[in-house]
Structure 1
Amino acid sequence: MLTMKPILRNTLNVAAGLLLGIGVIGQLAFNGRPSERTPTGNVITAPVLPKQLSFAGEAVPLDRWDVRERLDREVMINYYNHGNILFLIKSANKYFPVITERLRANGVPEDFKYLCIAESNLLPGAISSVGAASFWQFMSGTAPGYGLEVNKEVDHRYDLIRATDAASAYLKSAYQKFGSWTAAAASYNCGQGGYNGQATYQGTKQYYDLLLPEETNRYIFRILAFKHLLENSEALGFKVEDEEKYTMPATRTITVTSSIPNLAAFAQANGTTYKMLRQLNPWLRGRSLPVSAGKSYVIQLPEEEKGF
Structure 2
Amino acid sequence: MRNSLFLILSFSLWSTLFSCQNEAVQTEQVASDSIERQGVTYPDLPKEMTLFGEKIKLDNFDVRERLDKEVIVNTYYHSSTIQILKKANRYFPMIEKILAEEGIPEDMKYLCVIESALNQATSPSGAKGFWQFMPAAGKENGLKINKEVDERFHVEKSTRAACSYLKTARRNFSNWILASASYNCGIGGLKRVMKEQGAKDFFELYMNRETTRYVFRIMALKILMENPAAYGFDPSQMELYEPIKTRKITVSESIKDLADWAKEQGSNLRMLKVLNPWLISNKLTVSESTYIIELPVK
For structure 1, which runs of at least 5 residues remain unmatched after alignment?
A: 1-16
Q: Is the 2:228–2:235 contact (alpha carbons within 8 Å) kept by the matching residues of 1? A: no
Counterpart in the other structure of 2:59: 63
Which whole-Å deviations, capped at 9, do the CAs of 1:237-286 have from their partners, x for residues lacking one?
A: 31123771101211111111110000000000000010000111111000
* 1:102 corresponds to: 98
**115 and 33 in structure 1: CA distance in 2 versus 1, 3 angstrom threshold:** farther
Task: State the distance in 2 between where 1:132 and 1:123 align.
Answer: 12
Aligned residue for 1:300, secondary structure, equals strand
CA distance in structure 1 between the partners assigned to 2:273 and 2:206 by the alignment: 43
Whole-Å separation in 2 of the counterparts to 1:148 and 1:266: 24
Shift of 1:70: 0.3
How far the C-alpha of 1:37 sits from its partner, in A, is 6.0
Aligned match of 1:6: none
Quickly say closer, same or farther: Cα 1:152–1:27, change in 2 above 3 A: farther
In the other structure, the counterpart of 1:25 is 20
Identify, as 1 or 2, the structure richer in helix: 2
Q: Secondary structure at the match of 1:234?
A: helix
Q: Is the 8 A contact 2:86 2:238 kept in 1?
A: no
Paired with 1:226 and 1:298, the residues of 2 have a C-alpha distance of 33
Match of 2:154 in 1: 159
Segment of structure 1 superposing worse, 168-177 or 44-53 = 44-53
The amino acid of 2:95's aligned partner reads: I
Pair 275,26 (structure 1): closer, same or farther in 2 beyond 3 Å: farther
Is 2:33 aligned against 1:40?
yes
Task: Give the direction of change, closer, same or farther, for the CA distance of 1:145–1:51 in structure 2 (3 Å limit).
Answer: same
Structure 2 distance, partners of 1:79, 1:186, is 23
1:80/1:278 Cα in 2 relative to 1: closer, same or farther (>3 Å)?
Answer: same
How far off is 1:205 after superposition? 2.4
Alpha-carbon distance, 1:38 to partner: 1.2
> Does the residue aligned with 2:135 lie in a helix, a strand or coil?
coil
- Residue 283 of structure 1 pairs with residue 278 of structure 2: yes
Q: Distance in 2 between matches of 1:269 and 1:243?
A: 36
CA offset digits 1:20-54 (Å, max 9, x no partner):
9599538962xx79944616264766311110111
Distance 1:34 1:112 in 2: 45
Q: 1:279 and 1:80 mapped to 2: Cα distance?
A: 30
Is the contact between residue 35 and residue 41 of structure 1 (CA under 8 Å) also seen in structure 2?
A: no
Paired-residue identity, %: 43
Structure 2 residue aligned with 1:217 = 212
Mapped partners of 2:286, 2:100: distance in 1: 31
Cα distance in 2 between the residues matched to 1:131 and 1:157: 11
Residue 110 of structure 1, CA deviation: 0.2
Matched with 2:79 is 83
The aligned counterpart of 1:3 is none
- Runs of 4 or more, structure 1, over 4 Å off, are 20-24, 32-37
- What are the residue-to-residue correspondences of 1:101-250 with 2, within 5 Å? 101-124=97-120, 126-241=121-236, 244-250=239-245
Residue type at the aligned position of 1:64: N
Cα distance change, pair 297–149 in 1 and its aligned pair in 2 (3 A): same
Residue among 66, 69, 74 paired with 1:73: 69
Cα distance in 1 for residues equivalent to 2:286 and 2:210: 40
Q: Do the aligned partners of residues 58 and 35 (structure 1) sit closer, same or farther apart at CA in structure 2, a change above 3 Å counting?
A: farther
Between 81-90 and 168-177, the greater mean CA deviation after superposition: 81-90
CA RMSD of aligned residues (A): 2.3
Does the Cα contact within 8 Å between 1:254 and 1:299 map onto a contact in 2?
yes
Paired residues for 1:255-294 under 5 Å: 255-292=250-287, 294=288
With over 3 angstroms needed to count, the CA separation of the structure-2 counterparts of 1:144 and 1:36, relative to structure 1, is same
Letter in 2 for 1:174: A
Give the direction of change, closer, same or farther, for the CA distance of 1:33–1:218 in structure 2 (3 Å limit): farther
* 3-state secondary structure, aligned to 2:20: helix
TM-score by length of 2: 0.89
Q: Distance in 2 between matches of 1:26 and 1:194?
A: 58
Letter in 1 for 2:100: R
Aligned residue pairs total: 282
Task: Name the CA distance, whole Å, in 1 between partners of 2:41 and 2:295.
Answer: 48
SS in 2 for 1:298: strand
Distance 1:242 1:33 in 2: 33
User: How far 1:83 sits from its partner (Å)?
Assistant: 2.4
Q: In 2, distance between residues paired with 1:185 and 1:58?
A: 13
Deviation at 1:212, TM superposition (A): 1.2
Q: Against the structure 1 CA distance between its residues 139 and 26, is the aligned structure 2 distance closer, same or farther, given a 3 Å change threshold?
A: farther
Describe the SS at the equivalent of 1:49. coil
